[in-house]
């Protein structure tokens, strides 16, 4: 989510690190910082972009041959100079940069405060610096190794210390980190673009490996202190390819990151044995939420459709009446809002003007306002009374993909949270949490069928019209599938409730008007099955998306794609993936600009 760069060698470290940070801005860009070590440490941080950091550095004469830098995409604590990395210990001798989320930071922080540590930021990262300080006895890698035994979560970490100088210590778990090998100089980076201009020889760190670089050497050990031999790889990407991790487009890269986006939602937020969910951002209004009688979800575009799935989940599992409103309509029409209502704004960017104004209107009418927002510290995040951050990382492709699944995952956990307040059993809470934790590995299974989806795109990409049909939890997915196709392929596509088909739309069906039917083996499968036969009777072509091992559609429809089995409420997290990939491949075949489709913007900040 954020970017890390480190340098140690004979050259001045500062320009090399800031140059690397500029190349990582696509990973996060709300604040940045560096620490350069000499006899003393020069720590400079800013809220804003790397350019703001270099402006601030301009009139400082910072000299030193090693250091670490960071460009941040906030998760814990809003973007600010204090919350920017590097973070340090009480004595300002140990400096840490970190990507990822420390799940147990609240309990670690409490323990360290009891021992007398003084914290200055709101971040989860700062506990790492103080924990290392606690274990430090002259050897930095040993202190990091011991600290790691206490840290839970996902991380890539780099550390330097004035008391064990001339080395950079680093480690990772579920967050990338690599070493760049040079001549009398070495680098570390969270992503290849940061160091591509300096070296192509790299070593990829694996989970739970701990490394040390000096100007002339490197060493990698495991957490039990055993040395590990590593292979040196050659980077063959240019900078642009590296930013996309070698994938041809950001949209494709972001689809491939969907498993991680879903994994990040429950991180540090679930207590499995209690079947319970805890949202740090809702803590201060937990009691108020108990009294809420009605929910209204407001959003635009893809976020609105995630809200649609959320509505069905909350109605079924939290047993609350839920209205879903397009934010641009909510603002002007009469909506029934009172002091027993909570309004939930869903927005990836947190800047969509329609959604922001709707939040203001809801507040004016006395509602409690909540946000499900990806960008920490964004306008909507600041406007709402309380909220939940997605932690999906920056989304660059205009057509939203990983933010969408992340928003749905948040709604699944919110259903448990509100449901448990309203009589949901521990077993049910636990079941939803457990099933959600399986989703990323099920998504991997769908990715193994990417070639098949590509073949279907080749077969169908010349059609000019598509229907997308779904029922219950997969009706919003039909709408999202159609929206994805419209957005990037410019093909006319309409999503319908499967049951609505025979009330009009079926008149359109002939052999040139294909339908994509989302028909997992769920509580409405039988109903959908008869709808499929009605389309076939009119010679309509059908691509069906159904559950693995359901072979009865094979002989009826033209093409079948299979998704793994999961809880009915979570099927949208799986069924949407082939639809995103289908839209992607169709748009590629039509030669369109995938990441910047015509007429669209990532964030619409005007009404």
Which listed residue (301, 393, 429, 495) binds ligand G6P by CB under 6 A? 301
Question: Which segment (3-11, 216-224, 510-518, 597-605) binds ligand G6P by CB under 6 A?
Answer: 597-605
In terms of C-beta density within 10 A (0-12 exposed, 13-18 middle, 19 or more buried), how is residue 224 classed?
exposed
- CB 373 within 8 Å of CB 7: no
- CB 538 within 8 Å of CB 568: no
In the three-class reduction of DSSP (H, G, I as helix; E, B as strand; rest coil), residue 411 is classed as: helix
Binding mask 485-524 for ligand G6P (x = CB under 6 A): ----------------------------------------
Question: Which segment (247-255, 296-304, 547-555, 557-565) binds ligand G6P by CB under 6 A?
Answer: 296-304
CB of 268 or CB of 397, closer to ligand G6P: 397
CB of 189 or CB of 356, closer to ligand G6P: 356
Total residues found in the chain within this entry: 607
Q: Is 600 in the site for ligand G6P (CB under 6 A)?
A: yes
Q: Closest approach of Cβ 87 to ligand G6P, in Å?
A: 29
Of 437, 402, 517, the residue nearest 269 (C-alpha): 437
Q: Is 125 in the site for ligand G6P (CB under 6 A)?
A: no
Question: Which segment (75-83, 132-140, 300-308, 412-420) binds ligand G6P by CB under 6 A?
Answer: 300-308
Residue of 2, 88, 517, 560 marked active site: 2
Q: Which of residues 329-348 bind ligand G6P (CB under 6 A)?
A: 347-348
Say how many residues touch ligand G6P, by CB under 6 A. 16
Q: Is 300 in the site for ligand G6P (CB under 6 A)?
A: yes
Contacts of 588 (CB under 8 A, 6+ apart): 248, 249, 457, 594
CB of 399 or CB of 543, closer to ligand G6P: 399
Q: Closest approach of Cβ 603 to ligand G6P, in Å?
A: 5
Binding mask 348-367 for ligand G6P (x = CB under 6 A): xx--x--x------------
CA distance 266 to 278: 9
Q: Is 31 in the site for ligand G6P (CB under 6 A)?
A: no
Neighbours of 347 (CB within 10 A): 34
Neighbours of 161 (CB within 10 A): 27
- CB 79 within 8 Å of CB 28: no
Both tokens of 483, joined, read: 């929206």
CB of 90 or CB of 396, closer to ligand G6P: 396
In the three-class reduction of DSSP (H, G, I as helix; E, B as strand; rest coil), residue 294 is classed as: strand
Question: Which segment (63-71, 224-232, 301-309, 331-339) binds ligand G6P by CB under 6 A?
Answer: 301-309
Euclidean distance between the first and the last CA atom of the chain, given in angstroms as a whole number: 30
- CB 481 within 8 Å of CB 507: no
Measure Cα distances from 239 to 23, 200, 380, 525, 579 in Å. 8, 11, 33, 47, 30
In the three-class reduction of DSSP (H, G, I as helix; E, B as strand; rest coil), residue 398 is classed as: coil
Q: Closest approach of Cβ 403 to ligand G6P, in Å?
A: 6
3: phi then psi, degrees, rounded to nearest 5? -120, 140
Q: Is 604 in the site for ligand G6P (CB under 6 A)?
A: yes
Q: Closest approach of Cβ 303 to ligand G6P, in Å?
A: 4
Q: Closest approach of Cβ 471 to ligand G6P, in Å?
A: 23
Q: Closest approach of Cβ 395 to ligand G6P, in Å?
A: 9
Which listed residue (302, 335, 379, 406) binds ligand G6P by CB under 6 A? 302
Give ∠ CA 537-540-543 in degrees, rounded to 5.
115
Contacts of 111 (CB under 8 A, 6+ apart): none
CB of 427 or CB of 606, closer to ligand G6P: 606
Question: Which segment (124-132, 215-223, 329-337, 596-604) binds ligand G6P by CB under 6 A?
Answer: 596-604
Helices and strands: H and E segment counts in the chain = 19, 26
Q: Which of residues 380-399 bind ligand G6P (CB under 6 A)?
A: 398-399
CB of 355 or CB of 547, closer to ligand G6P: 355
CB of 131 or CB of 408, closer to ligand G6P: 408
387: phi then psi, degrees, rounded to nearest 5? -170, 175
Binding mask 205-244 for ligand G6P (x = CB under 6 A): ----------------------------------------
Q: Which of residues 423-482 bind ligand G6P (CB under 6 A)?
A: none
Measure Cα distances from 113 to 92, 119, 373 in Å. 16, 8, 30
CB of 277 or CB of 372, closer to ligand G6P: 372
Q: Is 400 in the site for ligand G6P (CB under 6 A)?
A: yes
Q: Closest approach of Cβ 391 to ligand G6P, in Å?
A: 15
Both tokens of 570, joined, read: 């979570």
Q: Closest approach of Cβ 127 to ligand G6P, in Å?
A: 31
CB of 7 or CB of 252, closer to ligand G6P: 252
CB of 354 or CB of 559, closer to ligand G6P: 354
Q: Closest approach of Cβ 356 to ligand G6P, in Å?
A: 9
Stretch (H or E) spanning 516: strand 515-518
Residue of 11, 56, 363, 602 marked active site: 602
Stretch (H or E) spanning 446: helix 426-447
Active-site residue 560, yes or no?
A: no
Q: Closest approach of Cβ 406 to ligand G6P, in Å?
A: 11
Question: Which segment (227-235, 297-305, 315-323, 570-578) binds ligand G6P by CB under 6 A?
Answer: 297-305
In terms of C-beta density within 10 A (0-12 exposed, 13-18 middle, 19 or more buried), how is residue 203 classed?
buried
Active-site residue 602, yes or no?
A: yes
In terms of C-beta density within 10 A (0-12 exposed, 13-18 middle, 19 or more buried), how is residue 465 classed?
middle
Tell the residue number behind the tokens 């049951």, with chain if given. Answer: 499
What dihedral angle (degrees, nearest 10) is formed by the CA atoms of 147, 168, 264, 133? 30
CB of 347 or CB of 546, closer to ligand G6P: 347
Catalytic residue annotation: 2, 602
Site of interaction with ligand G6P (CB under 6 A) = 300-303, 347-349, 352, 355, 398-400, 600, 602-604
């Amino acid at each position: 989510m954020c970017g890390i760069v480190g340098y140690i060698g004979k050259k001045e470290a500062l320009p090399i690190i800031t140059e690397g940070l500029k190349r990582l801005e696509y990973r996060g860009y709300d604040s940045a910082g560096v620490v350069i070590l000499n006899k003393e440490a020069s720590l400079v941080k800013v809220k804003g972009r790397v350019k703001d950091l270099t402006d601030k550095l301009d009139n400082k004469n910072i000299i030193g041959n090693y250091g670490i830098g960071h460009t941040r995409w906030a998760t814990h604590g809003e973007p600010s100079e204090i919350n920017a990395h590097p973070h340090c210990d009480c004595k300002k001798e140990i400096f840490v940069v970190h990507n990822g989320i420390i799940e147990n930071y609240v309990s670690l922080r409490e323990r360290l405060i009891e021992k007398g540590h003084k914290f200055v930021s709101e971040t989860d990262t700062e506990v790492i610096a103080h924990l290392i300080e606690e274990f430090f006895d002259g050897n930095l890698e040993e202190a990091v190794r011991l600290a790691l035994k206490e840290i839970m979560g996902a991380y890539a970490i780099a550390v330097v210390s004035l008391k064990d100088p001339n080395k950079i210590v680093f480690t990772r778990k579920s967050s990338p980190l690599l070493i760049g090998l040079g001549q009398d100089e070495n680098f570390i980076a969270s992503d290849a673009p940061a160091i591509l201009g300096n070296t192509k020889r790299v070593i990829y760190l694996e989970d739970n490996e701990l490394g040390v670089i000096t100007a002339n050497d490197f060493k990698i050990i495991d957490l039990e202190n055993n040395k590990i031999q590593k292979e040196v790889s050659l980077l063959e990407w240019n900078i642009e390819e590296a930013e996309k991790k070698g994938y041809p487009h950001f949209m494709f890269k972001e689809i491939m990151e969907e498993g991680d986006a879903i994994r990040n939602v429950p991180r540090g937020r679930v207590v499995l044995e209690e079947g319970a969910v805890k949202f740090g951002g809702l803590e201060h209004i937990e009691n108020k939420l108990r009294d809420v009688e009605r929910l209204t979800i407001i959003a635009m575009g893809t976020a609105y459709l995630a809200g649609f799935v959320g509505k069905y989940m909350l109605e079924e599992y939290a047993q609350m009446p839920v209205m879903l409103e397009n934010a641009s309509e909510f603002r002007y029409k009469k909506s029934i809002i009172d002091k027993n209502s909570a309004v939930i704004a869903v927005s990836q960017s947190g800047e969509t003007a329609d959604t922001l104004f709707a939040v203001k209107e809801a507040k004016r009418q006395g509602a409690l306002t909540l946000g499900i927002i990806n960008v920490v510290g964004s306008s909507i995040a600041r406007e709402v009374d309380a909220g939940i951050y997605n932690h999906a990382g920056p989304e660059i492709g205009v057509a939203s993909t990983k933010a969408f699944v992340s928003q749905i995952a948040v709604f699944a956990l919110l259903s448990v949270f509100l449901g448990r307040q309203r009589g949901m059993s521990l077993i049910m809470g636990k079941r939803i949490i457990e099933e959600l934790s399986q989703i990323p590995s099920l998504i991997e299974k769908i990715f193994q069928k990417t070639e098949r989806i590509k073949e279907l795109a080749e077969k169908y990409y010349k059609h000019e019209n598509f229907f997308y049909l779904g029922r219950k939890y997969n009706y919003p997915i039909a709408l999202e599938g159609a929206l994805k196709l419209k957005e990037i392929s410019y093909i006319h596509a309409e999503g319908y409730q499967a049951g609505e088909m025979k009330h009009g739309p079926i008149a359109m069906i002939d052999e040139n008007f294909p339908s994509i039917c989302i028909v997992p083996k769920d509580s409405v499968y039988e109903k959908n099955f008869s709808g499929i036969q009605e389309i076939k009777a009119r010679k309509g072509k059908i691509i069906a998306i159904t559950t693995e091992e359901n072979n009865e559609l094979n002989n009826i429809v033209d093409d079948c794609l299979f998704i793994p089995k999961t809880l009915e409420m979570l099927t949208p997290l799986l069924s949407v993936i082939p639809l995103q990939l289908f839209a992607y491949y169709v748009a590629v075949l039509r030669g369109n600009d995938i990441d910047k489709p015509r007429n669209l913007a990532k964030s619409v900040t005007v009404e």
